[in-house]
Amino acid sequence: MPHVVIEGVESWDALAGALGPFVVNDGAILKVTDVFTNQRGTIMLLEAVVIEPPRSVTFFIQLSKKGPHVTVRLLPATDPEHKTNGVKQILGLVAQKIKAAVPHSRYGKTNLAGFLGDAEPDASKT
């Protein structure tokens, strides 16, 4: 399952402004339409839509916090059958937004290195 771990995220507060709704049109249309947080403050769900003609898929991206680490992955209950480049790209965009909001953070384990922009995650941790 595609995932990215961001290390060094001490609190959700730093992410509040960074993870609002957004739209990217880069051949495919990638949208995050809403953000939900559980009461304990350990899980966020981002409602996502990826439109790659002729297909459109809606799913949730799950952010789970354990200590100073946040894992970005697909929510298993809404996991798209086809993990297209658009699905992987939106996961990478969310990870990039988190890393930008928390400057001292860094990428940890991931299998999405090619979708994290110019970042250089530690390939030995995949």
Query: What pLDDT score does 118 carry?
Result: 60
pLDDT band at 41 (very low <50, low <70, confident <90, very high): confident
pLDDT in tens, 71-110: 999 999 998 988 999 999 999 999 999 999 998 999 999 9
Our count of domains for the chain comes to 1
Query: What pLDDT score does 1 carry?
Result: 84
Domain that holds residue 48: 3-125
Q: By three-state DSSP, how is residue 12 classified? A: helix
pTM equals: 0.89
Give yes or no for a contact between 110 and 117, defined as CB atoms under 8 angstroms apart: no
Q: By three-state DSSP, how is residue 92 classified? A: helix
pLDDT in tens, 2-12: 999 999 998 88
